[in-house]
Amino acid sequence: MRAADIVSLLIGAAMIVFYFTDVLPRLGPALTSPPLVAFYWVLIAVFIAPPIARLFSEKLLGSVFGGKAGKLTREYSRAKSLAARGRFEEAIAEYRRGLENEPENQSLRLELAEIYSQHLHDYSKAIKEYEGALKMELRDFERASILNRIADVYESGLEDEEMAVRTLSRIVDALPGTKFAEKAEERIERTKRGQPPGKDTA
């Protein structure tokens, strides 16, 4: 627990003690007592609620992910901060460290792919990271989204319409009869006609 949280809890505890030993006896049955009591407890909650919420969330993460949760959160936050400041190589190193601890973390791998694709224009590495994410356990919309991103890289980054179409066909094959397959088929037709991604036919 952070030092600031400990201080907040101590202040809240002191206010509770003060309420029962001094404030409550003074209020008595006055008509103003209910709103004053409510206001006082709101003040107490301001000090106590945030650190308790953080403590329980950390405990929950720890029970789900084990001791790695806090470390992964720090690494992820640091990597995001580095990427936002344009320090992409350092951000990549942080994401790699996170993946060493949690190789099945889809978010870390997708963040890596985005850096390679959007900022470094290293499309082969971007595709490699996207393909790595596809090997994980995914929901239908996640699989379709990642395959669409790979198609984006082929179409807009590498200007390889054939590979973009092949990638979109993987959605049709993997998710037949779904809205994702239907949209992929529509995009395939647009791509074959040379229309930019996301543009509907007239």
Shared domain for 180 and 145, answered yes or no, is yes
Show the tokens assigned to 49.
Answer: 């609620």
Shared domain for 130 and 172, answered yes or no, is yes
Number of Cβ atoms within 10 Å of the Cβ of 191: 20
| Alpha carbon of residue 191 to chain centroid | 31
pLDDT band per the 50, 70, 90 thresholds, residue 123: very high
Q: Which positions ≥6 away from 44 have C-beta within 8 Å?
A: 12, 15, 16, 19
Share of the chain above pLDDT 90, in %: 49
Angle (nearest 5°) at CA 160 between 148 and 124: 70
Say if CB 75 and CB 97 are below 8 A apart: yes
Number of Cβ atoms within 10 Å of the Cβ of 171: 26
Does pLDDT of 197 surpass 70?
Answer: no
Shared domain for 94 and 172, answered yes or no, is yes
Closest CA to 98 of 121, 118, 80: 80
157/169 Cα distance (integer angstroms):
19
Residue 76 lies in a domain: no
User: CATH number for the domain including 183?
Assistant: 1.25.40.10
Shared domain for 52 and 121, answered yes or no, is no
Residue 48 lies in a domain: yes
pTM of the model: 0.62
57/78 Cα distance (integer angstroms):
19
Shared domain for 100 and 186, answered yes or no, is yes
Write down the mean pLDDT value for the chain: 79
**What's the number of domains the chain is made of?**
2
pLDDT of residue 104: 87
Residue 28 lies in a domain: yes
Does pLDDT of 200 surpass 90?
Answer: no
Residue 168 lies in a domain: yes
Shared domain for 53 and 99, answered yes or no, is no
Show the tokens assigned to 197.
Answer: 């991604």
Shared domain for 183 and 132, answered yes or no, is yes
Does pLDDT of 35 surpass 90?
Answer: no
Residue 80 lies in a domain: no
Domain that holds residue 10: 3-65
Alpha helices, DSSP H, located in 66-122: 68-84, 88-101, 106-114
Say if CB 95 and CB 108 are below 8 A apart: yes
